[in-house]
C-alpha cells in the first residue's frame, strides 16, 4: 500500500532541492501535488511508474542570448527562454512573456501550470511557456521589431506546428506575434500558419482569440454561480489589471448584466461607482498605451487611488487578472468580510496559498486559473484547427465553442471533486481531472 502523503512530501522536497531559488515553481508544484494524495491511494500504479516525479520535470529547457540594437544604435543583451514541459497530449503549447521579471523559474512555473490547464480543455495540446526579460514598454515599434527578429532567429529551430506552438502572454500581443511570425517565415521559407497563435485574423488568426481568456473567465464564473443557484445579473464586480484579460472580462461581465466598478494597473486603481466605462479603458490601454489614471480626465466622478488596493473595494465577485501572487491573505480576508461570493482567476496563480485557504474556509467559490482562464489557450487550439484545415470560422461559431469548452471544464472540475468527496473544491477537482488525463497518456507511452 502506497503511503501517499509521505510520497507527495518526498517528491516536493526533491523538486525544491533540484530547483533552488525558484519559489514560484515550488509554489505551483505544491499547489497541484498536495491535492493528489487521494489519487495515489486509489490508483497506486501512478506511484509505481513515478508519474508525479516525471510530470514535475520539464521535458526540455532552452535558454539563449538575444542581442539587439535600439534606435540610437546601442547594443542590448536580453535572455530568452522556452520550456517544453509535457507533450503527452500534443505539441507543446503556451505563451511567450516579455517582461523584466522573467526568469527561468517564472517560465517553469507558468509551463507547469499550463500542463494542467491545457489538459482541462480536452483538446490535443501539451504544455510549454517561454519569453524574455525584455521590456516592451517605452520601446519604439522598430526596436520591438528588431528584438523580436533576434529572439526568433534562435527560437525558430525549436518550434513548429507539430512540435511547439507559442502564443502571446504579458508584453506579447498581435504586434509582437506579427514580427515573430514574419521572421519565422523569412528564415524557414514556408508559410506555417500553425506555428504561432494569437495572429491577426487577416492572416490566419482566430476570431475571439483576443477576447478568449477574459470571456472564458466570465463563462467559468457563470457556471460556478449556477452551481450555487446564483447568476451574474446585477452582481457588483472588481477586475484587477487593465490589460487584455481584464478588458475582455469586463466586456463580457457587462454584456451578461454584471456591474464592474473597479480596475487597475501597476500605478493604481480606478473606482467608478456608476460602472467602469469600458470604451474609455480600451482607448487608454489599447490605443494610447497610457496609465489607467488617465480615466479620471474623462470621468471626473471616478476615484483614482494611487498605489491603491483594489481588493479593499466591496464587491460580489472578484477577478484577479493582473499577475501572480497579487491577492494575499489580508486581501482575501477583506473580500470575505465585504461579502464576496466568488473569486475567479484571470491571471496565472494570482492568489497566494494563504488567500486560497481563506476563500475555501469561508465558502467563497474559488476558480483556480488553470480552469478559469483556460479559454485563451483553448481558443489558440481552435486557431490551430483552423490553420490545419486552411479554414476560417465566424466569431459566433468560435465563441459558441469557447463557451461550451468552459462549461465542460467546469463540469469536469465539479464532478471530479464530488467523486473524491470534495464537493465544491475546484482546486482539487481541476488538479485531479487534469492530472489523470496527462498521466494516463504518459502511462500509455511507456517510460519516456
For 67, phi and psi rounded to 5 degrees?
-90, 145
Whether residue 93 is annotated as binding a ligand: the answer is yes
Whether residue 114 is annotated as binding a ligand: the answer is yes
Q: Contact 317/343 with Cβ under 8 angstroms?
A: yes
Q: Contact 47/40 with Cβ under 8 angstroms?
A: yes
Give CA–CA dist 158/252, Å, rounded: 36
Cα 285–chain centre separation = 20
Give CA–CA dist 444/448, Å, rounded: 10
Q: Contact 366/427 with Cβ under 8 angstroms?
A: yes
**DSSP line for 107-131:** HHHHHHHHHHHHHHTTSS--EEEEE
**DSSP line for 148-183:** HHHHHHHHGGG-BTTTEEEEE-TT--HHHHHHHHHH
Which of 16, 48, 108, 129 is flagged as catalytic? Answer: 129
Whether residue 142 is annotated as binding a ligand: the answer is no
Whether residue 370 is annotated as binding a ligand: the answer is no
Q: Which residues are paired to 239 by β-bridges?
A: 319
Question: Cell numbers at residue 121, please?
Answer: 480543455
Does residue 129 have an active-site annotation?
Answer: yes
Give CA–CA dist 325/37, Å, rounded: 25
445 exposed, middle or buried (CB, 10 Å; 0-12, 13-18, 19+)?
exposed
Q: Which residues are paired to 168 by β-bridges?
A: 96
Whether residue 42 is annotated as binding a ligand: the answer is no
Give CA–CA dist 117/369, Å, rounded: 8
Q: Contact 321/347 with Cβ under 8 angstroms?
A: yes
Report CA dihedral (218, 223, 227, 233) to the nearest 10 degrees.
50
Whether residue 400 is annotated as binding a ligand: the answer is no
Whether residue 213 is annotated as binding a ligand: the answer is yes
Angle among Cα 345, 11, 442 to the nearest 5 degrees reads 75
* The dihedral sign for the CA sequence 173, 374, 408, 363: negative
196: closest CA among 171, 174, 227? 174
268 exposed, middle or buried (CB, 10 Å; 0-12, 13-18, 19+)?
middle
Query: What are the catalytic residues?
Result: 129
Query: Which residues are part of a known binding site for substrate?
Result: 93, 114, 117, 168, 380
Query: Which residues are part of a known binding site for NAD(+)?
Result: 213, 244
Query: Which residues are part of a known binding site?
Result: 93, 114, 117, 168, 213, 244, 380
Amino acid at each position: 500500500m502506497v503511503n501517499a502523503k509521505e510520497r507527495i512530501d518526498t517528491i516536493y522536497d526533491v523538486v525544491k532541492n533540484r530547483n533552488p531559488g525558484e519559489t514560484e515553481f515550488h509554489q505551483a508544484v505544491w499547489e497541484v501535488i498536495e491535492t493528489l494524495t487521494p489519487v495515489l491511494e486509489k490508483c497506486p500504479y501512478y506511484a509505481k511508474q513515478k508519474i508525479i516525479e516525471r510530470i514535475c520535470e520539464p521535458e526540455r529547457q532552452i535558454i539563449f542570448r538575444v542581442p539587439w540594437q535600439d534606435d540610437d544604435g546601442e547594443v542590448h543583451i536580453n535572455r530568452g527562454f522556452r520550456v517544453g514541459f509535457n507533450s503527452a497530449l500534443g505539441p507543446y503549447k503556451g505563451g511567450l512573456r516579455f517582461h523584466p521579471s522573467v526568469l527561468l523559474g517564472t517560465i517553469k512555473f507558468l509551463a507547469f501550470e499550463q500542463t494542467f490547464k491545457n489538459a482541462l480543455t480536452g483538446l490535443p495540446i501539451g504544455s510549454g511557456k517561454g519569453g524574455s526579460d525584455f521590456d516592451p514598454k517605452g520601446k519604439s515599434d522598430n526596436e520591438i521589431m528588431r528584438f523580436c527578429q533576434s529572439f526568433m532567429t534562435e527560437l525558430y529551430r525549436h518550434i513548429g506546428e507539430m512540435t511547439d506552438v507559442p502564443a502571446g502572454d504579458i508584453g506579447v500581443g498581435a504586434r509582437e506575434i506579427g514580427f515573430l511570425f514574419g521572421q519565422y517565415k523569412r528564415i524557414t521559407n514556408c508559410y506555417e500558419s500553425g506555428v504561432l497563435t494569437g495572429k491577426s485574423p487577416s492572416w490566419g488568426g482566430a476570431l475571439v482569440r483576443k477576447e478568449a481568456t477574459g470571456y472564458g473567465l466570465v463563462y467559468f464564473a457563470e457556471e460556478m454561480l449556477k452551481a450555487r443557484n446564483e447568476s451574474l445579473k446585477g452582481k457588483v464586480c472588481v477586475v484587477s489589471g487593465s490589460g487584455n484579460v481584464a478588458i475582455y472580462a469586463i466586456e463580457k461581465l457587462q454584456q451578461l448584466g454584471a456591474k464592474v466598478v473597479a480596475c487597475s494597473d501597476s500605478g493604481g486603481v480606478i473606482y467608478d461607482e456608476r460602472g467602469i466605462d469600458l470604451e474609455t479603458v480600451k482607448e487608454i490601454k489599447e490605443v494610447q498605451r497610457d496609465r489607467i489614471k488617465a480615466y479620471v480626465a474623462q470621468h471626473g466622478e471616478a476615484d483614482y487611488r494611487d498605489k491603491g488596493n483594489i481588493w479593499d473595494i466591496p464587491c460580489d465577485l472578484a477577478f484577479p487578472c493582473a499577475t501572480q501572487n497579487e491577492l494575499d491573505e489580508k486581501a482575501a480576508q477583506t473580500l470575505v468580510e465585504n461579502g464576496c461570493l466568488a473569486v475567479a482567476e484571470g491571471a496565472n496563480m494570482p492568489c497566494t496559498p494563504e488567500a486560497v485557504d481563506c476563500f475555501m474556509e469561508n465558502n467563497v467559490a474559488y476558480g483556480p486559473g488553470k480552469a478559469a482562464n483556460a479559454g485563451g489557450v483553448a481558443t489558440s487550439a481552435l486557431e490551430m484547427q483552423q490553420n490545419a484545415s486552411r479554414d476560417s470560422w465566424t466569431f459566433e461559431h468560435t465563441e459558441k465553442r469557447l463557451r461550451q469548452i468552459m462549461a465542460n471544464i467546469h463540469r469536469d472540475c465539479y464532478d471530479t471533486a464530488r467523486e473524491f468527496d470534495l464537493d465544491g473544491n475546484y482546486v482539487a477537482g481541476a488538479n485531479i481531472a487534469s492530472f489523470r488525463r496527462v498521466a494516463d497518456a504518459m502511462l500509455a507511452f511507456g517510460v519516456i
